[in-house]
């Protein structure tokens, strides 16, 4: 074992912990050949719907060296977002990841600090951090760095803490000590996520038809109308969907997040149906200016509300 690489790897994991990340794993930067085949098949079947950006930069998705020249290591970080409080029972439902401040902004700042601290401790390192901001197959890297397995619902599942995590990636041109890939799949014969998906978007063999997912319709779909074939299938989900995570037995181990930025916005916890119906565009922009809800815009929220009405 290279003493310097071991020392650097320990330093990096210590920095990750200091910055509030819950888990940190390191893998060798290699071509993701098996993932390439799966992604190509998924795209060819049109399971990305209108998310045409998924077709772009295919070579970058499978080769970290295309994103960071001379890439040697892929560092994967998990940040827990499981909330302490839940929404009011009858209100339009919002996925838990969107309760607080936009995670892109929160994690982007952490990644900047992470790379800066690595450089201070280790020396000059070339690297780039990613959080849904570039073509990175973050769940595959998380599995390769030993942080969990990919469940039947397509989410990364950690045996100790479940799946309510954001995944961030830092690719660096620094050789490190690599963690063993997560070799086991603890989903077993359980099919709860498949059985209870409201739109039958979860298929066998760990394939999720993105074009049928409630999150796709309520967030990614930019068209004015949601297909009428989906009417009455949304189970009151207005922004995203957590069904496949809520029913997963491993999420009984979820712990409340310590990240203050993910503290729920009061409106998300307290708004009634009427509050959402009467919300003006001006107030939407004011209340949700730092929220992931701004991604679908005011018009999208109104469209979704109209669609989930009985």
Contact (Cβ atoms closer than 8 angstroms) between residue 273 and residue 91: yes
Q: From the candidates 63, 132, 173, 275, give the one annotated as an active-site residue.
A: 132
Q: List, in sequence order, the alpha helices (H) in the chain.
A: 3-18, 33-44, 58-62, 103-122, 138-144, 192-196, 214-215, 243-246, 266-270, 273-278, 281-287, 297-308
Q: Is 188 exposed, middle or buried (0-12, 13-18, 19+ CB in 10 A)?
A: exposed
H-helix or E-strand spanning residue 75: strand 73-80
Half-sphere exposure of 233 (CA within 13 A, CB side): 18
Candidates 162, 120, 116, 141; CA nearest to 257 is 162
Catalytic residue list contains 132: yes
| Cβ contact 230:199 at 8 Å | yes
- Report the catalytic residues: 132
């Amino acid at each position: 074992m290279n003493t310097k690489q071991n020392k650097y790897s320990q330093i990096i994991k210590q920095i990750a912990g200091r910055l509030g990340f819950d888990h940190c794993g390191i893998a060798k930067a290699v071509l993701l050949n098996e993932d390439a085949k799966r992604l190509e098949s998924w795209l060819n079947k049109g399971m990305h719907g209108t998310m045409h950006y998924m077709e772009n930069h295919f070579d970058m998705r499978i080769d970290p060296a295309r994103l960071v020249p001379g890439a040697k290591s892929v560092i994967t970080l998990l940040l827990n977002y499981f909330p302490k409080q839940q929404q009011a029972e009858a209100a339009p439902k919002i996925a838990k990841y969107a309760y607080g401040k936009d995670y892109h902004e929160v994690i982007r700042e952490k990644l900047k600090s992470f790379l800066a601290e690595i450089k201070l401790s280790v020396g000059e390192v070339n690297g780039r951090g990613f959080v849904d901001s570039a073509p990175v197959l973050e769940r595959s890297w998380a599995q390769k760095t030993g942080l969990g397995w990919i469940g039947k619902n397509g989410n990364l599942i950690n045996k100790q803490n479940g799946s309510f995590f954001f995944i961030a990636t830092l690719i660096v041109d620094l050789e490190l000590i690599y963690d063993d890939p997560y070799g086991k799949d603890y989903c077993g014969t359980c099919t709860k996520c498949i059985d209870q998906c409201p739109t039958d978007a979860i298929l066998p063999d760990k394939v999720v038809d993105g074009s049928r997912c409630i999150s796709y319709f309520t967030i990614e779909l930019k068209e004015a109308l949601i297909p009428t074939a989906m009417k009455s299938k949304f189970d009151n989900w207005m922004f995203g969907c957590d069904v496949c995570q809520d029913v997963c037995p491993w999420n009984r181990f979820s712990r409340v997040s310590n990240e203050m930025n993910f503290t729920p916005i009061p409106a998300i916890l307290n708004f009634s149906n009427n509050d959402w119906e009467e919300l003006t565009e001006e107030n939407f922009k004011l209340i949700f200016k730092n929220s992931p809800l701004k991604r679908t815009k005011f018009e999208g929220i109104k469209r979704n509300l109209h669609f989930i009405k009985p």
